[in-house]
């Protein structure tokens, strides 16, 4: 649709502070005592002694100063100086003309991020579930009938290098709500079997779960996989403790099966997106 009528006014139009002429050609330009920097003589209107002056011929602009072609005297009168906005005013920008490099927002600008209301770029979904780790062991840990810290020498992944010596430590700046899980493959004898899982936080018992399973009068293999959700601050550390119990051990000892080709015990965790 074509626009009919007078074109809308665009620009920063300013009538500058009054200037008293003296025996010089150069005068400072201000607005409310703040320096003004016209970009060219062509966007100024200058009246001297009641006559509008020709830009470039009668005066030039040097930074925040106007320089007349010749020195004035105290009898001259600088009637007014008006600045007619900026030299370049694009008005409505054409489609496809502004790229990511022209935006002043902070953050990573690419196809996987979006611009938020606070003028920052963020990943879609508000973040990622990191730090995240999964550690395991493949050998049989024979002391599981006693309350024992599980050793986990192998890592499947550890996004922030935060898992070490069978312990996960929350990295700096990565506090929040965490989801932890642990699992173990067990073999128990006849009778009632009980597995006690404990998530330790900073060296003290945090959450524990006891799962029971009837052996059915024979050797029974099962896998326990409890999960926990808890708050964690930077520097907090978490460890996996376990004990295998039995009401009736007549069917044989209770151990964790394992071999070099399988994961017998595992411990994992990640921070929830908030």
59, part of any domain: yes
CB 89 within 8 A of CB 72: no
265, part of any domain: yes
Same domain, 47 and 173: no
Same domain, 136 and 53: no
pLDDT at 175: 93
pLDDT at 129: 87
CATH number at residue 228: 2.60.120.40
The C-alpha angle 163, 139, 149, rounded to 5 degrees, equals 50
CB 248 within 8 A of CB 189: yes
218, part of any domain: yes
pLDDT at 143: 54
DSSP 112: T
Same domain, 139 and 32: no
- Of 84, 113, 145, the residue that ends a domain is 84
Mean pLDDT in the chain? 79
Instruction: Give the global pTM.
Output: 0.51
pLDDT at 220: 45
C-alpha closest to that of 154 among 140, 138, 169, 167: 138
User: How far apart, in Å, are the Cα atoms of 195 and each of 143, 146, 151, 157, 214?
Assistant: 13, 11, 17, 26, 12
Same domain, 179 and 258: yes
- Of 84, 102, 120, the residue that ends a domain is 84
Q: Give pLDDT tens digits for 97-149.
A: 776 666 777 777 777 777 777 777 777 665 678 999 999 987 666 556 677 88
The alpha carbon dihedral of 203, 205, 208, 212 has a sign of positive
- Of 25, 50, 84, the residue that ends a domain is 84
190, part of any domain: yes
169, part of any domain: yes
For 78, the domain range is 13-84
C-alpha closest to that of 263 among 132, 168, 135, 133: 135
pLDDT at 81: 94
C-alpha closest to that of 189 among 229, 245, 150: 245
**Unique residue bearing structure tokens 């665009």:** 10
Same domain, 174 and 262: yes
Same domain, 138 and 264: yes
89, part of any domain: no
Q: How far apart are CA 55 and CA 111, in angstroms?
A: 48
Q: Residue 253: which pLDDT band, with cuts at 50, 70 and 90?
A: very low
pLDDT at 22: 94
Residue 255 has pLDDT above 60, yes or no: no
Q: Residue 90: which pLDDT band, with cuts at 50, 70 and 90?
A: low
The number of domains in the chain is: 2
Higher pLDDT, 244 or 63: 63
Residue 74 has pLDDT above 80, yes or no: yes
Q: What mean pLDDT is predicted for residues 85-106?
A: 66
Q: Give pLDDT tens digits for 18-30.
A: 999 999 999 999 9
Q: How far apart are CA 134 and CA 119, in angstroms?
A: 36
Q: Give pLDDT tens digits for 38-73.
A: 888 988 999 999 999 999 999 999 999 999 999 999
């Amino acid at each position: 649709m074509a626009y009919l009528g007078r074109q809308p006014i665009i620009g920063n139009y300013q009538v500058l502070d009054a200037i008293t002429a003296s025996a010089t050609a150069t005068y400072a330009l201000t607005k409310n005592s703040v320096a003004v920097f016209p970009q060219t003589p062509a966007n100024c209107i200058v009246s001297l002694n009641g006559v509008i002056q020709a830009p470039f011929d009668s005066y030039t602009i040097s930074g925040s100063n106007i320089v007349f072609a010749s020195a004035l005297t105290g009898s001259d009168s600088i009637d007014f100086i008006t600045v007619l906005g900026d030299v370049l005013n694009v008005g409505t920008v054409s489609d496809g003309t502004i790229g990511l490099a022209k935006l002043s927002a902070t953050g990573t600008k690419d196809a996987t991020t979006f611009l938020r209301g606070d003028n920052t770029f963020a990943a879609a979904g508000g973040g990622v579930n990191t730090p995240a780790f999964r550690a395991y062991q493949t050998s049989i840990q024979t002391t599981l009938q006693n309350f024992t810290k599980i050793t986990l020498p192998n890592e499947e992944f550890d996004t922030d290098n935060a898992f070490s010596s069978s312990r996960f430590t929350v990295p700096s700046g990565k506090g929040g709500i965490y989801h932890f899980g642990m699992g173990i493959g067990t073999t128990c004898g006849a009778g009632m079997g009980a597995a006690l899982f404990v998530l330790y936080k900073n060296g003290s018992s945090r959450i524990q779960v006891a799962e029971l399973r009837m052996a059915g009068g024979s050797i029974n293999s099962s896998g326990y996989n409890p999960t926990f959700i808890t708050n964690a601050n930077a520097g907090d550390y978490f460890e996996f403790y376990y004990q295998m119990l039995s009401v009736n051990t007549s069917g044989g000892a209770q151990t964790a099966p394992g071999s070099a080709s399988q994961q017998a015990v595992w411990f994992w965790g990640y921070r929830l997106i908030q």
